[in-house]
Amino acid sequence: MIDKRADDLARAFEGLGDGISVMIGGFGDAGRPAYLLKALLDSGIKDLHFISNNAGDGDTGLGAFYHAGRVRKLSCSFPRGSVAPLMEKLIRAGEFELEVMPQGTLAERIRAAGAGIPAFFTPTSYGTLIAEGKETRDFDGRGHVLETALHADVALIHAEQADRFGNLTFRHLARNFSPLMASAAKRTIVEADHVVELGDIDAHNVHSPAIFTDLVYQCHDVPEDSWHDWRASA
Amino acid sequence: MIDKRADDLARAFEGLGDGISVMIGGFGDAGRPAYLLKALLDSGIKDLHFISNNAGDGDTGLGAFYHAGRVRKLSCSFPRGSVAPLMEKLIRAGEFELEVMPQGTLAERIRAAGAGIPAFFTPTSYGTLIAEGKETRDFDGRGHVLETALHADVALIHAEQADRFGNLTFRHLARNFSPLMASAAKRTIVEADHVVELGDIDAHNVHSPAIFTDLVYQCHDVPEDSWHDWRASA
Amino acid sequence: MTPLSRNGIAARVALDIQDGWHVNLGIGMPEMVANYLPEGREILLHSENGILGMGPSPAEEDVDWTLINAGKKPVTALPGASYFDHAWSFGIIRGRHLELCVLGGYQVAPNGDLANWARDANDPLPAIGGAMDLAAGAQRIFVMMTHNDKSGAPKLLESCSFPLTGAGIVKKVYTDLCVIDVADNRFTVTDMVEGLTREELQNRTGAPLHFADQVAVLKDPA
Amino acid sequence: MTPLSRNGIAARVALDIQDGWHVNLGIGMPEMVANYLPEGREILLHSENGILGMGPSPAEEDVDWTLINAGKKPVTALPGASYFDHAWSFGIIRGRHLELCVLGGYQVAPNGDLANWARDANDPLPAIGGAMDLAAGAQRIFVMMTHNDKSGAPKLLESCSFPLTGAGIVKKVYTDLCVIDVADNRFTVTDMVEGLTREELQNRTGAPLHFADQVAVLKDPA
């Protein structure tokens, strides 16, 4: 029997240690897996390599990890938000590495990892600073840059619905990077607003098919205050 | 106002002439755009380059075009079916060119065309006859083959539902290549079982977004006999 | 001489958006263009976070934080909208399906180069977002910006000194002072605000200006 | 000595499919494996034309020609099935998400090479379909075929003479006579039908056979 539903958050990161790469679904707050991020924070795992479009804000969610000194590297497209000054300080101290790339390149590199494509050419960033040192090639007279697949050890995903096989739907624009990340990580952990019965999600309208999902948790709100536990443990 | 709905089939191929490349959605009969294929046959356009997973069967649908001597080239993954002997005869007579590639490579080349990716590496076909003469490269110790985007002048698509913007849904596995082809052709022509009102298709469950669609026709059955008109015109 | 307000620039850009176009409005000032889309034209707005057919801001009680634009502001979905993942969304961008993208700009050069993501090649926190994909992928790039920066320095220059977003991609520039066609390696002014002389405009610009045979009066169309 | 029927081979293959696996069954004989999936195991069948969670053939009155398998035969969708386009479907294949693919075979060699798409490099109508993607992408490839071709010639050979589908990818071979592990550049027999001697089996095979310490009796499990 295939039953990916789980209760015990300890299972989520079982067998994983410091230094893992973690993809985090979401664009801004839409599709941000706050419940699982809190579980990751509580797990104590450090030296994390985050792969996330946005850097995070404040000292909750993603932001808490910078404050707690738990992130070694961030791969993203848009390192803005209120964590920026702290990130800058960490970079200058040599304690943090930032890899910034165009958003479409980030998405396509993740999609490529899930789809078994090790590398592709894209016109994006050709002729810019971002392309420096990269292999380039002309197609139809236009310059293109070679980019490689971006894999991860773990993906944390927030879904609207999930069934026991791990089929997912997303609300409005909470979809964004999530199906791509689900396909690109060795272990895909899902929090869902609604854990539903098999067949409740119409086969036509599954947004991320079961095969990419490893674990499904019922999502719960994370009290604002609880993010600050890192202060005690830091 | 955006209204892609059309009645007059003459509009479908307006301004297009002999030698065009035509992507044809469908896998077997699932998602095969019979109504538009008949319109293409009636248009008299010849020297066609078909891009279709399957070669076709019998002397209706795709098959009619071989009998009528209207296809110059077929790019596909699976040239079997009852048209095979005729295709073989045409190939030996030098009147027909066949390009066969792995099904996933066909799909990914079409997807790449729609997504602005001019070329990508795939592990599929490495070390086989199909890879001969192609650029190869190792990634993580595995051989890969460079494949390029496959564009077309026209895509013919069968949808279950279409609205006036051109948003599409597909029934069961009639989806297959269709959204990819819709994105990869200069002109995407759709036949739909149901032409519906704007908003009837939930934004969450659009299978092919409006931006790829150019024309929407209400689909009608094609009488079996009518395929044989080519005999008169040939 | 009265420069256009930001709303005025937005309204002027909107006039040049044709019926039936699929358009991405960049983060910041370009977002305002959505408020001025001309009556009678049906224009589908795309946002890189996965929507085609984006509508105006919702009433406060209807805000849903899973329905936001690329600038993370709440929006709505029009009838006929569609949602898709980031692979499709950037496939739409990179695959040249959008007729237009309107971007903000730090610097534009007559060869069509645009700089809009970093003011310093050594910026420790360079924020690219979707701009480079839009620059490389949209069929046309319109840039919307103030003619001069806060210190009065020109943003239209012989060549960009800031890191490029894209090379040779800008088709038109809309500022608070004028509208400029970018083609054939030169800036050609097509619209100017009233009470501004060509010499004054040239003085506030860091590259030679050419002028169309007919230069229209640029005023707030709203 | 009674060779296994095709159904018998299918049933034997099915025994080796683990609970929870996502499996693609190739066109032809492998499709029959679906009829023998062991009770108590939940196995999700994938078909390259865009489904995960494929069910058995429908009753005749329920046939829907938009719901077919890769062999174009009518199928059903189980509760919990999902449909997707060909880019996702082959992403699942090429991205190594399937635990298993069962393919038919023309020839298999001890190095794991498989030929199953053309009997002649100059075949004017070579039919590849999804086989090369499956060969390159699935985590494991099991091959299911008769031990000898219609003329009695062996299909297990020192090296494949037909054009390859994939190089070094076969993990197990199931024939009407035996089950073979393919590893370390050799064939190791793990199961044999009753009444067949090792010498007879070797005589019907075009490459040296090794034998497991315990060779199980191969019989129709159905």
CA C98 to CA A122: how far, in whole Å?
17
**Is residue C140 scored above 90 in pLDDT?**
yes
- B161 within 8 A of B175, measured Cβ to Cβ: no
CA B25 to CA B174: how far, in whole Å?
8
Residues of A with CB under 8 A from a CB of C: 27-31, 77-80, 84, 87-88, 91-92, 98, 100-105, 107-108, 111, 122-130, 170-180, 207
* Rounded mean pLDDT, A148-157: 98
Distance from CA of B15 to the nearest CA of D (A): 30
Any residues with CB less than 8 A from the CB of B59 and at least 6 apart, and which? B67, B227, B228
Give backbone dihedrals phi and psi of C130, rounded to 5 degrees, phi first: -90, 5
Which residues in chain A touch residue D92, judged by CB atoms under 8 angstroms apart? 183, 209, 211
Which residues in chain A touch residue B137, judged by CB atoms under 8 angstroms apart? 119
CA D71 vs CA B61, D130, D180: distances in Å: 19, 11, 26
Q: 3-state DSSP call for residue B177?
A: coil
Q: Which of B115, B119, B142 sits opposite A139 (nearest CB)?
A: B119
Q: How many CA atoms lie within 13 A of D114 on its CB side?
A: 31
Mean pLDDT of chain D: 96
**Using alpha carbons only, how large is chain A's radius of gyration in Å?**
18
- A38-85 per-position pLDDT tens digit: 999 999 999 999 999 999 888 899 999 999 999 999 999 999 888 889
| pLDDT value at residue A233 | 52
**Is residue B233 scored above 60 in pLDDT?**
no
Distance from CA of A135 to the nearest CA of B (A): 13
Using the structure block, give the residue that is written with the tokens 């897996």.
A33
- D73-132 per-position pLDDT tens digit: 999 999 999 999 999 999 999 999 999 999 999 999 999 999 999 888 888 888 899 999
Instruction: Please report the DSSP string for D180-203 in residue order.
Output: EEEETTEEEEEEEETT--HHHHHH
From D42, D48, D60, D61, active-site residue: D48
| pLDDT value at residue A232 | 52
Which residues in chain C touch residue A77, judged by CB atoms under 8 angstroms apart? 127-130
The dihedral built from the CA positions of residue B154, B158, B164 and B166, taken in this order, carries a sign that is negative
Domain spanning D6-56+70-218, CATH class: alpha beta
Neighbours of chain B (3+ CB pairs under 8 A): A, C, D
User: Which residues are bridge partners to B71 per DSSP?
Assistant: B48
| pLDDT value at residue A13 | 97
Which residues in chain B touch residue A123, judged by CB atoms under 8 angstroms apart? 116, 118
**Is residue B234 scored above 50 in pLDDT?**
no
* Rounded mean pLDDT, B68-81: 94
| pLDDT value at residue A104 | 98
Cite the DSSP H helix spans in C126-191.
Answer: 131-137
Which residues in chain A touch residue D84, judged by CB atoms under 8 angstroms apart? 206, 209
Give backbone dihedrals phi and psi of D27, rounded to 5 degrees, phi first: -65, 145
Distance from CA of D78 to the nearest CA of A (A): 8
In this complex, do A165 and D53 lie within 8 Å of one another by their Cβ atoms?
A: yes
- D24 within 8 A of D45, measured Cβ to Cβ: yes
Neighbours of chain A (3+ CB pairs under 8 A): B, C, D
Q: List the single best residue of D46, D48, D49 to mutate versus B (max B Cβ within 10 A).
A: D49
CA C180 to CA B69: how far, in whole Å?
53
In this complex, do D97 and A211 lie within 8 Å of one another by their Cβ atoms?
A: yes
Q: Of B143, C88, B160, A112, nearest to D90 (Cα)?
A: A112
Which residues in chain C touch residue B182, judged by CB atoms under 8 angstroms apart? none
Distance from CA of A87 to the nearest CA of C (A): 8
CA D70 to CA D34: how far, in whole Å?
13
Q: Of A222, A229, A188, nearest to A70 (Cα)?
A: A229
Residue C199 annotated in active site: no
ipTM, 2 dp: 0.97
User: Which residues are bridge partners to D52 per DSSP?
Assistant: D46, D82
- A102-123 per-position pLDDT tens digit: 999 999 999 999 999 999 999 9
* Rounded mean pLDDT, B21-39: 96
The first and second tokens of residue B17, run together, are 């002439």
In this complex, do B210 and C52 lie within 8 Å of one another by their Cβ atoms?
A: yes
| Domains contained in chain B, CATH given | 19-100+152-217 (3.40.1080.10), 113-150 (no CATH)
From C39, C42, C48, C200, active-site residue: C48
In this complex, do A178 and C85 lie within 8 Å of one another by their Cβ atoms?
A: yes
The better pLDDT of the pair C143, A81 is held by C143
Q: Of C114, C124, C104, nearest to A100 (Cα)?
A: C124
Query: Which 8-state DSSP code applies to residue B82?
Result: T
Q: Of D58, D53, D48, D59, nearest to D37 (Cα)?
A: D53
Which residues in chain B touch residue A168, judged by CB atoms under 8 angstroms apart? none
- D23-64 per-position pLDDT tens digit: 999 999 999 999 999 999 999 999 999 999 999 999 999 999
**Using alpha carbons only, how large is chain D's radius of gyration in Å?**
17
CA C30 vs CA C15, C34, C74: distances in Å: 13, 8, 16
CA A90 vs CA A76, A94, A99, A120, C41: distances in Å: 16, 6, 14, 32, 49
Single-letter code of the amino acid located at C178: C
CA B77 to CA B108: how far, in whole Å?
12
Which residues in chain D touch residue A178, judged by CB atoms under 8 angstroms apart? none
Using the structure block, give the residue that is written with the tokens 């894999």.
A151
Pairing of strands C141-144, C100-104: parallel
Give backbone dihedrals phi and psi of B203, rounded to 5 degrees, phi first: -55, -30
Residues of C with CB under 8 A from a CB of B: 19-20, 22, 42, 44, 46, 51-53, 77, 79-84, 87-88, 90-98, 136-137
In this complex, do B2 and C83 lie within 8 Å of one another by their Cβ atoms?
A: no
Q: List the single best residue of C44, C48, C54, C82 to mutate versus B (max B Cβ within 10 A).
A: C82
Q: What torsion, rounded to 10 degrees, do the Cα atoms D100, D101, D102, D106 define?
A: -130
Q: Of C80, C77, C61, nearest to C69 (Cα)?
A: C77
Q: Of C84, C167, C88, C160, nearest to C132 (Cα)?
A: C167
Mean pLDDT of chain B: 95
Q: Which of D42, D77, D95 sits opposite A114 (nearest CB)?
A: D95
Q: Poorest-confidence range of B80-84, B182-186, B194-198?
A: B80-84
Distance between start and end Cα atoms, chain C: 18
- A210 within 8 A of D53, measured Cβ to Cβ: yes
Vertex B215 angle, CA B211 and B220, to 5°: 130
CA B160 vs CA A209, B203, D51, D169: distances in Å: 21, 16, 17, 39
* Rounded mean pLDDT, C108-121: 94
Distance from CA of D67 to the nearest CA of A (A): 12
Neighbours of chain D (3+ CB pairs under 8 A): A, B
Distance from CA of B114 to the nearest CA of C (A): 5
- 3-state SS, D125-184, equals CCCCCCHHHHHHHCCCEEEECCCECCCCCECEECCCCCCCCECCCEEEEECCCEEEEEEC
Provide the total of helices (H) and of strands (E) in chain D, helices listed first. Answer: 4, 12
Domain boundaries, chain D: 6-56+70-218
Task: Pick the residue from chain B with its C-alpha nearest to A117.
Answer: B122
| pLDDT value at residue D196 | 96
The first and second tokens of residue D217, run together, are 């009796």
Percent of chain C whose pLDDT exceeds 70: 100
**Is residue D190 scored above 60 in pLDDT?**
yes
* Rounded mean pLDDT, C80-93: 98
| pLDDT value at residue B98 | 95
| pLDDT value at residue D125 | 87
**Is residue C212 scored above 90 in pLDDT?**
yes
**Is residue B230 scored above 90 in pLDDT?**
no
Assign A234 a pLDDT band (cuts: 50, 70, 90): very low
